[in-house]
Amino acid sequence: KLPILTEGKITPQELYRFEMGCQTYFDVKDVTKDIDQVRRTMAGIRDPAIRSWVHSNHARLLTLSFADFMKDLRKRALDTDWEFDIRREMMMSKYILDLDFQNWADNIVGLNCILAGTDQVYDDKGLLELLGANLENDLNSEVRSPKSQVRTDSIKNWVEDVRRLADTERRHLKRARAHWDDWQQRTAKRVATSSSLSDKPRPFSNSTNAFSSTHRTNSFSAANTSGTSLRAPTLTGEEKDLLDKHQGCRRCRKFYTGHRASDAKCDFPDARTYKPLT
C-alpha cells in the first residue's frame, strides 16, 4: 500500500518513517525507475502546503532521484536547524536505572538513523562514545572497567553487553528499595508499639506522680495544639554518607526518595519519633 504523508506539522521522525515506507513499497511493487518512484511518492503527500510546493516544482522534481527528492522535501517541510535539534535530543537523553536500557538505546540509535545523509550523523565510533557518555555514572564506570569485557566492535554487541550490566544493576536497585521499604514498615511498627506502651497508665501512682503525668500530658497537648514539633538532631557524617549512598534526602532523611533537600518537597523528621540512621 502506498505510504501517506498526512496533513499537519511534519516532524523529522514522521518524514523518516514516510521515506522508509516508500522504499519498502518500491521493493514490493518492483518500482525501480527514479521518475516512477518520485511520482508515486508525490501521490502519497496529503499536506496542502507540501502539495502546493510539489505542484509548483513538478517538472523539476520529476528529474530527481528518490534520494534527492527526499532531500528537497526535508528542506521544504522541516525547520532549518532540524538536524541540530535531533543531535541535541540525542545528547540530552541520559540513561538512569529506572529506564529500560534497550528502549533507551534503540531510541538514540533510531534518532541517528534520521540524520543519515546529513553532516550531523554519528559514525559508529561517535555513537558509541555518545551512548557511553550518557550512561548513569556508576554504570558508566562499570562499562569502562576491563573486567566487564564490554565489546566495542559494533553498536549491536555494545548494547547487548551493557544491557546485561544495566539489568543486573536494576535488579540490585529493586532489591535495595524493597529492603528500604521493609525497614520503614518495621520501624513504623516499632514506633507505634512503643508509643502505645508509653500511653498506658502505670498500675501504681501517688498524687505527685499523677500531677506530674497530668502536667506532662497537658504540656504535650499544648505543643500539639500549637502545631510545633521538635527538630531532629543534626546529621552525623556517617548518616550523610549513608543518605548519599542510597539516593536519600538530607531533609526528610529517607532513602530512595527521588528528590533532594534543596527541592523543598518534604519536611524535617520529628525528634520525638526520629531514629538514627544505620
Q: What is the mean pLDDT of residues 68-97?
A: 94
Mean pLDDT lowest among 91-95, 104-108, 267-271: 267-271
Q: What is the mean pLDDT of residues 121-132?
A: 95
Return phi, psi of residue 3, to 5°.
-65, 150
Whether 275 has a pLDDT exceeding 90, the answer reads no
Per the CB < 8 A criterion, the answer to whether 166 and 101 are in contact is: yes
Per the CB < 8 A criterion, the answer to whether 100 and 161 are in contact is: no
C-alpha grid cell, residue 232: 531532629
Is 12 or 185 the better-scoring residue by pLDDT? 12
* pLDDT attached to residue 202: 56
Look over the chain and give the mean of its residue pLDDT values, rounded to a whole number.
84
Whether 151 has a pLDDT exceeding 80, the answer reads yes
Q: What is the mean pLDDT of residues 79-91?
A: 95
Q: What is the mean pLDDT of residues 75-104?
A: 94
Instruction: Please tell me the pTM assigned to this model.
Output: 0.60
Mean pLDDT lowest among 93-102, 106-115, 155-164, 258-267: 258-267
Q: What is the mean pLDDT of residues 78-106?
A: 94
196-238 tens-digit pLDDT? 666 655 554 444 444 344 444 444 343 344 444 467 788 887 8
Three-class SS state of 245:
helix
Write the Ramachandran bin of 249: left for phi over 0, alpha for psi from -120 to 50, otherwise beta. Answer: beta
Per the CB < 8 A criterion, the answer to whether 162 and 155 are in contact is: no
Return phi, psi of residue 247, to 5°.
55, 45
Q: What is the mean pLDDT of residues 141-169?
A: 91
Q: What is the mean pLDDT of residues 164-190?
A: 81
* pLDDT attached to residue 39: 96
* pLDDT attached to residue 188: 80
* pLDDT attached to residue 220: 39
* Amino acid letter for position 158: W
* pLDDT attached to residue 48: 94
43-78 tens-digit pLDDT? 999 999 999 999 999 999 999 999 999 999 999 999
Counting residues of the chain whose pLDDT is more than 70, the rounded percentage is 85
**12-26, 174-188, 211-225 — which one is most confidently predicted on average?**
12-26
Number of residues in the chain: 278
Three-class SS state of 5:
strand
Three-class SS state of 252:
coil
